[in-house]
Structure 1
Amino acid sequence: MAKITLGEALSTLKRKEMKFLRLLDDYVNEVSRNLSDYEDGLRAINLILSEKGDVEELINLSENLKEKAKNKKLEEVNKIKDKLDKLMLDMVKLKIIIQKTNKETGIDDYISELKYLKIGLSKINPNERFDLNYSDAKDFGLSDFLDKLEKRKYEFESKILNINHTTITEVDDEILGD
């Protein structure tokens, strides 16, 4: 068991998600390429069969080639699929660990309060907010209000960062490996 911070767990999860997406793209490309290679091989074999030679021998050869090509392609595709399955399992394990740690540390509360605070700040029209000079904002009582909201936002962001960088959690070594 390795000990890592919550922030490291989050970055490991993001890295694995990106790797998963790249592998998924490889998987789709490999499957489509293998299908077209397989179809090209069948066309070539059928062309040979129609043009020349001992038909029975060519049929046996074509069956062997078809089977070998199919097995090889399946192996390549299955290797990628196995990697995808392992990555998916690692990501699920990491998400469970992160959610459990988030709940234990109370970071979820900070994140949801920060989310609502940002929504509240975004509802104040930014154009009006920045067009007001300080004396106008003071006359409307907005400058103190905005300062308080910005200060709370900063406090929540600081608490979240602090929890992410100081909370230690245990993770299986195999999950951390690539």
Structure 2
Amino acid sequence: MSLAACVALLCVGTAATVGMRGPTRRLPPSMTAPVVVSAAAPGATIPAKPILLAGALVRGAARGWAVDQRGPLRMGDPVPVRLTAYCLQGTTRRDRWVREGIVAADPKLFPLGRYVEVYVGRKYHGRFLVDDTGARIHDGILDIWTRSCREARLFGRQRGTAVLVPRPRGALQDTVLTGRLGGLAPR
């Protein structure tokens, strides 16, 4: 776990206990285990991976988090998103043909040409290429491209979590990987 993730957990835990009223309780020894924090050497890269928190695969940040965000996300930061789907034909913002595995996102949060992993609850929907934008795509909205407009309407709006991840080793630039509207693409 990165130092930033440990600090975030510490802040969340502190914020949850600050406003408590009433008699204080002693926690059982199993809940007061020490936290081990290790820092990486300067310049070392830490691979991004899903974070395990409280039994969930990924837990998103607090509601309204994206409002305070000033620039692009860092790799591995879980972000709460609203997921929609679209079926327009033509080219994307980066002048490439639309295809499965791409999403439209706000380039202020999700830089164009980067990859995001999308989760809805515990269901992993796959890794998508951020390749498009839209007039109504702002803050924490991800718009997943699909071939069928009917499928896009059935998908509706859902809440999920997105994690910015690096391009896999050996993958060519703009390679579309596993992302699909209904979940993982068949292999």
Under TM normalisation by the shorter chain, which class is it? under 0.3
Structure with higher helix content: 1
Point out which structure has higher relative CO (alpha carbons under 8 A, 6+ apart): 1
Structure 1 length-normalised TM: 0.20
Q: Which has the larger radius of gyration?
A: 1
